[in-house]
Amino acid sequence: MRKKRKKNKQKQDLVWSIANIVALLFMAIYMIVHAVIDARNPIPDWTHIWVYWIVAILSLTGALLGTYFHLKRRKKERSQ
């Protein structure tokens, strides 16, 4: 019984890790698109554009770190 619970917990953690990584990637893409659209306006609002780029960079960094730690944890689980 305990082994089955542990396996279900691992599967749930896997799904949440992948979902978080995908959400961060979509957020980064969304912010980059908004930054490009705002920059093409006749009178661009540079404060918004900088905020969009900062959020996009933070989202991509979060996705990369999430992927790294997720793969590291999976490798550790496989070796046991």
Tell me, what's the pLDDT at 57? 92
Please say whether the beta carbons of 33 and 55 come within 8 A.
Answer: no
Tell me, what's the pLDDT at 76? 83
Locate the domains of the chain by residue range: 12-79
| pLDDT, averaged in runs of 10, over the chain (80 residues) | 68 80 89 88 84 90 86 81
Tell me, what's the pLDDT at 20? 85
Tell me, what's the pLDDT at 77? 78
Tell me, what's the pLDDT at 42? 83
Predicted TM-score (pTM) of the model is 0.72
Look-up of token digits 């082994």: 3
Residue 46, number of CB atoms within 10 A of its CB: 9
